[in-house]
DNA sequence: CTCATAACCGACCGCTTTTGTAGGATTTAA
DNA sequence: TTAAATCCTACAAAAGCGGTCGGTTATGAG
């Protein structure tokens, strides 16, 4: 398996936040119930998303979480990376801040690193797929019917 | 990390076999020494490759392993799949024999599966990268110099 | 003020996978 | 007969995964 349920649950969480039309936060327990996921586990995941600056939280009663940016501006590579750690096909791969891919045993023997060509291509394929998908797309895909542009009940706006 | 060292070691093993110009088998210990990998672990990996029909073995003294097909006809998706198991981005994904992608909790709630769009794209990216790379490419990439088209020493052919 | 709600935090825990090691059995060329 | 190999199974340390639990802090409502 390429990814664990951390990515699965976390993306679902993000989609659930993206489905919310208003600007009021939703509690984790609401998300947990809607997606039938364990609340305590979601707490760990949402912490990663918050540290990555993808969601904001408000504490106390009627608190909860909101997207930190509009869903159109959130690409899934940042979401998955926040949840799973750096996306690399292999342990020896690390991406520099400038986006260059390095292999730790590059040329450590007498020959070129035999596998670098392959992993570079895989890396490119995954990155392209993730970075080319926005949260807004997933929100739209998840349920184009249930969310007309209506304001939440009792909204003063 | 997308893949474990099983894929890394196994691919290196395949490349090493592909580098061999003649048709005589090479022993695992030779591969282990050349790539500085633990022999006993390679035994497990090569067994998977053999079961998948990617390499053939000859037992006894002067035995060893050979590619079952020419390197040009071996695509890396079959190699990686033999080593790591089915390539799917998520636990809930399984590919049918006809190549169709299924998600096990497709529509189990009232809405469409929110993440299927994303994982399908990732799956496509990885598969394309792996299936679009042949072992021959990696062999060429690994050392275009050290293997001119010369027959092995003492070859009767 | 107090109480319920909800974010926040860290420790723990059983399970599976990973990354090997070890020991032996079998086959085969010399 | 012996040495070189594949082959096979069992074992084991370590890490990651999926999840639980208990407690602390912040905050709006009554």
Region at A141 (left for phi over 0; alpha for psi -120 to 50; beta for the rest): alpha
| pLDDT at residue number B109 | 58
pTM, two decimals, is 0.90
Helix (H, G, I), strand (E, B) or coil at B55: strand
Could you say which of B89, B115, B141 has the minimum Cβ distance to residue A2? B89
What distance in Å separates residue B94's CA from the closest CA in chain A?
A: 10
| pLDDT at residue number B113 | 85
Closest CA to A131 of B147, B83, B28, B121: B121
Among chain B residues, CA nearest to A147: B111
* Residue given tokens 């672990």 in the structure block: B41
Closest CA to B81 of B118, B115, B126, B120: B126
| pLDDT at residue number A106 | 65
What distance in Å separates residue A42's CA from the closest CA in chain B?
A: 16
Digit-coded pLDDT (tens) for A143-153:
865 444 444 44
Using CA atoms, how far apart are residues A25 and B64, in angstroms rounded to an integer? 64
Buried b / exposed e across B77-113, counting CB within 10 Å, b at 16+?
bbbbbbbbeebbbbebbeeeeeeebebeeeeeeebbb
Quick check: B4 CB within 7 A of strand C? Answer: yes
| pLDDT at residue number A126 | 97
| pLDDT at residue number B83 | 98
Using CA atoms, how far apart are residues B49 and B13, in angstroms rounded to an integer? 10
Using CA atoms, how far apart are residues A114 and B138, in angstroms rounded to an integer? 6
Using CA atoms, how far apart are residues B66 and B50, in angstroms rounded to an integer? 10
Task: Chunk chain B into consecutive blocks of 10 residues (it has 157) and report each block's average pLDDT, rounded to whole numbers.
Answer: 96 97 93 96 98 98 98 98 95 79 68 89 96 97 61 43
User: How many CA atoms does the CB half-sphere of A89 hold within 13 Å?
Assistant: 27
| pLDDT at residue number B36 | 94
Digit-coded pLDDT (tens) for B114-125:
899 999 999 999
Among chain A residues, CA nearest to B143: A111
| pLDDT at residue number B96 | 76
Using CA atoms, how far apart are residues A129 and B126, in angstroms rounded to an integer? 9
Cβ contact, residue pair A122, B12, below 8 Å = no
Q: Is the CB of residue A87 less than 8 Å away from at least one CB of chain B?
A: yes
Q: Is the CB of residue A101 less than 8 Å away from at least one CB of chain B?
A: no
Strands (E), chain B: 55-58, 64-67, 93-95, 101-103
**pLDDT in tens for each of the 157 residues of chain A?**
999 999 999 999 999 999 998 889 999 999 999 999 999 999 999 999 999 999 999 999 999 999 999 999 999 999 999 999 999 999 888 777 777 777 877 655 567 788 999 999 999 999 999 999 999 999 999 986 544 444 444 444 3
Q: What angle do CA A32, A33, A34 make, to 5 degrees?
A: 95
| pLDDT at residue number B51 | 98
Q: Which of A122, A127, A139 is the best mutation test for B, with the most CBs of B within 10 A?
A: A122
Instruction: Spell out the residues 6+ positions from residue B43 whose beta carbon is closer than 8 angstroms to its own.
Output: B28
């Amino acid at each position: 398996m390429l990814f664990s349920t951390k990515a699965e649950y976390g993306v679902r969480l993000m989609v659930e936040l993206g489905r919310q039309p208003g600007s009021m936060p939703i509690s984790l327990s609401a998300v947990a119930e809607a997606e039938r996921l364990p609340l305590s586990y979601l707490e760990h995941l949402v912490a990663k998303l918050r540290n990555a600056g993808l969601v904001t939280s408000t504490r106390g009663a009627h608190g909860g979480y909101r997207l930190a940016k509009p869903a159109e501006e959130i690409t899934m590579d940042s979401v998955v990376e926040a949840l799973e750690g750096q996306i690399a096909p292999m342990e020896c791969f690390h991406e520099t801040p400038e986006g260059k891919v390095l292999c730790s045993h590059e040329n450590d023997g007498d020959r070129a690193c035999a596998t670098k060509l392959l992993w570079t291509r895989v890396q490119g394929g995954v990155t392209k797929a993730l970075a080319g998908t926005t949260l807004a797309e997933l929100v739209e895909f998840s349920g184009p019917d249930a969310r007309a542009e209506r304001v939440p009940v009792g909204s003063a706006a």
